[in-house]
Amino acid sequence: MTTLMHGELTEKIWKAALEVHKSLGPGLLESAYKVALMKELGDLNLNYRVEVPIPMIYKGQKLECGYRADFVVEEKVLIELKAAEHMHNLFKAQLMTYLKLSKHKVGLLINFNCEMLKQGVIRIVM
């Protein structure tokens, strides 16, 4: 695990996502962007986990609901990927809920299905 601060780490993730978007462009399935981002993060020597289970605690009991974060990078930043036509408020709410349930402080919502990637990235700090 690196000792990067959250800002430095999200900057590296952003650059990796930008490289994926420049190479592939919009219009593919989310799964294509996921495997490409895995390669880019690996090339940057960043530790990451994919499809990370997120349990829900309800009335003191841990419940498995099938929630999964697309990525957790360096155990600091949770990433939710999309390949959607529009950036819906529901996506942001989903990321905020995942952050709350997982106890992570920083999350990135990345929608690759846009002309310019900066239009499809939201950073949330809890």
What is the tens place of the pLDDT at every residue in 88-99?
A: 899 999 999 999
Reading phi first (left if > 0) and then psi (alpha if -120 to 50, else beta), residue 106 is in beta
Question: 6-125: what fold?
Answer: Trna Endonuclease; Chain: A, domain 1 (3.40.1350)
CA–CA dist 20, 65 (Å, integer): 31
Q: What confidence tier does 2 reach under pLDDT thresholds 50, 70, 90?
A: low
For residue 97, the model assigns a pLDDT of 95
Residues 26-81: pLDDT tens digits? 999 999 999 999 999 999 999 999 999 998 888 988 887 889 999 999 999 999 99
